[in-house]
Structure 1
Amino acid sequence: MKILLLITATLASGIAYAEGELPDRQTELPAVEKPQDNKYLVPRDLVDIPDGEFGDKVKLGYSLFVDSQQMRGTFVGNEQNCVNCHMQAGMKPNAAPLWGAYMAYPAYRSKNDKVNSYAERIQGCFTYSMNGLPPAEGSKEMVALTAYSYWLAMGGILDKNGMQDTPVPEISDADLQVGGKAESFPLPEELLSKYPIDDRSKLAGRGYPKIDNPEQEPSIARGEKVFQTSCQTCHGQNGEGIKGSDGRSYFPPLWGENAYNWGAGMHRVNTAAYFIYENMPLGKSQQLSIQEAWDVAAFVNSHERPQDPRYKGDVAGNAKRYHNHQGYYGKEVDGHVLGTKAYPSGKEVIHEH
C-alpha cells in the first residue's frame, strides 16, 4: 500500500525536486547473465496494433521511438534516436528491450528515496541519452511512448502463454505511465501466479548481457584500432555518424556535440562494452572478442561529448558526486581532462532553438 501511495503521489504531483536540482535518475541498465534457452518474449507484429484511440497512441509511440528526431529542438537535443540503444524498435532481447524495461517499473530507489515510474525512467533517457529536455508526464509524447512499451510487453506475455486471440487491454493514460510492476497492471487472473510482481523485472533478455572482465585493462589505443576496422564505416572516421541526404543521422554519432552526454548510461565503459559485444557491428552479434569490446568502448568514451546536465561549474566535484563508475569524465586523457571542454547540454541546446 505504501508503494502504491507513493506512485499515486508521484504521478499526481510530477517531479517535486527543488528548482535547479537534478537527481541522478539515470541508473545503470541491468547487466545480467545471458540465458541459454532463448525463451524470450516475442512482441506482437506491428500490423496487429489495433485501430482506434489506444492504437493511435501505440503507433505514435512507435514512430517517436524509431524516429526520435521528429522531437528535435523540443525534447531531443542531439542526433540520436531511441532505437539506437534499444534495437529492432525496442523489441530485441539483450538490447535493453522496452518490454523488459516496462515490466521493471515502478521501482523504488534509495538514492532519491522515492518510487520512480516508468515515465520518469523515460524522462531520464531524454535528459541524458538524448541530451534534451524530457516530455512532461501526461504529455502526448510520454503517453505514446509508454503505450508502445506497454503494448509490446502485454502482447508478448499474452502470446507466450497461448492467448494470441486475447486483445491487449486498453488502460488509462495514468496507468500506462506507471509500468508493469504494479498492482494495476491488467494481467489475466490465470497469469498472476506466473508473473508475481517481484519477478516481473527479471524477464529473460532484459538489459544488456554481462560479459567477463577483459584479461587486460581496457586500452584506448587498442580500441582506436578496433574502431577503425569494425566501427567507422557506420559511425564515421571521427565518430560523427553517417547522415543521409536529408541531413539526418542514420547511424548515430558516438562522440562530439550530437552524441549522448556525459550523464548517459552509455558513457560508462562497462555498459558500452556489454552493448557492443552483444549487438555490434550492427546485426552481427558477438563478432568482436571480449577484449576488443572493452577496448573500443574505452576509445569511444574517451572523447568529449555534451556536458553532464548535473554540472554546476566544477568538473571534479561533479565527477566525485556522480561518476563513481567506469568512465573517463573528470579524468585526464592525452593531456586533457574530459568534461572541461564538453559541448552544451540539452537545456542549453534546446533553449537556443
Structure 2
Amino acid sequence: MKHLPIMLLGALVLTACSHPAPEAPAAAKPAPAASVAKTTSEPAQAKAPPAFTPPAESAIPTGPLGDEIRRGMAIFTDTPEHAHDYVGNGLSCSNCHLDAGRLANSAPLWGAWGVYPQYRKKNGRVNSFGERLQGCFRFSMNGKAPPLDSDVIVALQTYAWWMAKGAPTGEKLAGAGYPKQGFKPPQPPDYARGAAVYAKDCALCHGANGQGQQVAGRNVFPPLWGPQSFNWGAGMHELDNAAAFIKANMPLSRGGTLSDQDAWDVAMYMDAHERPQDPRYAGDVAATRAKYHDTPMSLYGTTVNGHLLGSGTAK
C-alpha cells in the first residue's frame, strides 16, 4: 500500500470562530517536501488572460429562454430541491461555485462554458460541457449522472451559456477555475496546524465535526467530510484544488486573508477525513489509488493517524 506521509489537516468553506483548537491527533509521517513544497523557479506567464464580467441577474430575458435560464439557476443554487433524482447528498453546485456560479476564482460557470469541449485526464477522453456537468453529479453530489438530454442538464447548460454571454471562447478567462498557478506551501501541509486553523476560522460555520449547519433540512453551510459530503472522486478531495479554493474564498466573505500555509494546512485537515467511496472503486483501495489517485495531491489510499482513507466513511 502506498502511503502519503505528512502531518495532515484541511477545510473547504470556512468562517472565523472562537472555538479552541482541538487536541492534535497522532501525526502521520512527513512526506517528501518535494511533493508540495514551494519551488524556487516558476515559469513566466505569457500574457494575462482576458477579464470578463457576467451579465447581471436582472438582465435575464423574459419568455421561454429566460424561464430556462432561471430554472438552471434554481438547480444550481438548490440542487437537492430541483434535481433530487440525481443527488446523493445535501450539497448544491453553489457550495463550491460561489454566488450562484458568478464569483471569480471559485470556478465560475462563465469561466467553464467557453473552454469545452476539452480533453479530461480524469476519464481519458474529450468531454462536452454536458458531460462535465454529469461528472459533478456523480462525484461532488455523490449521486448519478442525469442523461445529457434531461431537463436538468439542458437547464444548467442554458444557465452557463447565458452567464458566459459575450465572453471569448476557447481561452481561459481571468478568474476562471481556482487560482493554483504557482500556489505552493512554504512547508509541507501539516494536520495538526490545520486542525488549529479549522477551529479558529472554519468551525463556526462548518461545525467542530465538519458536518456543516442546516436550517429546515437545507444546508446553510455544507459538510466538509462524512457521509453527506463530496465523495473520493470529486476534485475538491485533491489538496491543491481545496487549498486554492480556500485561499481565494474562505473564510466566507474574507477570501485572501489566510496565509498560503494556513490554506494548505486546513485543506490537508479537511481532506484527511473520510467521505463516501469513489464510485469507480472496484473492491480494492490500493488498486483504486493506483488507477485514479496516484498523485501526492490525493490522500485516498493513504494511512493517516492509523486509518486507511477510502476504507469506509466514518459516521
TM-score bracket, normalised by the shorter chain, equals: 0.7 to 0.9
Structure 2 unaligned blocks of 5 or more: 1-42
* Counterpart Cα distance in 2 of 1:79 and 1:89: 16
Structure 1 segment 227-246 matched on structure 2, within 5 A = 227-244=198-215, 246=216
Match of 1:336 among 293, 307, 311: 307
Structure 1 segment 50-129 matched on structure 2, within 5 A = 50-71=61-82, 73-109=84-120, 112=123, 114-129=125-140
* Greater relative contact order (CA < 8 Å, ≥ 6 in sequence): 2
Aligned to 1:225: 196
* Counterpart Cα distance in 1 of 2:218 and 2:195: 25
SS at 2:126 equivalent: strand
* Identity across matched positions, percent: 47
* Counterpart Cα distance in 2 of 1:311 and 1:33: 39
Whether the 8 Å contact between 1:40 and 1:93 is mirrored in structure 2 is no
Structure 1 segment 223-302 matched on structure 2, within 5 A = 223-244=194-215, 246-302=216-272
Residue type of the alignment partner of 1:279: N
Residue type of the alignment partner of 1:221: A
* Counterpart Cα distance in 2 of 1:128 and 1:143: 19
Residue type of the alignment partner of 1:60: R
Residue type of the alignment partner of 1:341: G
Match of 2:277 among 290, 304, 307: 307
* Counterpart Cα distance in 2 of 1:48 and 1:221: 47
Residue type of the alignment partner of 1:40: A
* Counterpart Cα distance in 2 of 1:111 and 1:278: 24
CA drift of 1:37 comes to 8.0
RMSD: 2.3
Structure 1 or 2: larger helix share? 1
* Shift in CA distance, 297/133, structure 1 to aligned 2, threshold 3 Å: same
* Shift in CA distance, 278/297, structure 1 to aligned 2, threshold 3 Å: same
Residue type of the alignment partner of 1:150: W
What is the TM-score when the length of structure 2 is the normalising length? Answer: 0.81
* Shift in CA distance, 60/328, structure 1 to aligned 2, threshold 3 Å: same
* Shift in CA distance, 137/323, structure 1 to aligned 2, threshold 3 Å: same
CA drift of 1:138 comes to 1.0
Residue by residue, what CA displacement relative to the aligned partner does 1:103-125 show, whole Å, maximum 9, x if unpaired? Answer: 11011346755421000000001
41-50 vs 270-279, greater mean Cα deviation: 41-50
Number of paired residues? 271
SS at 1:69 equivalent: helix
Residue by residue, what CA displacement relative to the aligned partner does 1:174-200 show, whole Å, maximum 9, x if unpaired? Answer: xxxxxxxxxxxxxxxxxxxxx4x6xx2
* Counterpart Cα distance in 1 of 2:261 and 2:184: 8
Aligned to 1:192: none
CA drift of 1:342 comes to 2.9
Residue type of the alignment partner of 2:270: V
Residue by residue, what CA displacement relative to the aligned partner does 1:232-255 show, whole Å, maximum 9, x if unpaired? Answer: 1111110000111x1211100000
SS at 1:320 equivalent: helix
CA drift of 1:39 comes to 6.2
Whether the 8 Å contact between 2:48 and 2:174 is mirrored in structure 1 is no
CA drift of 1:40 comes to 2.8
* Counterpart Cα distance in 2 of 1:258 and 1:241: 10
* Counterpart Cα distance in 1 of 2:62 and 2:45: 36
Structure 1 unaligned blocks of 5 or more: 1-31, 158-194, 345-353
CA drift of 1:55 comes to 1.1
* Shift in CA distance, 288/268, structure 1 to aligned 2, threshold 3 Å: same
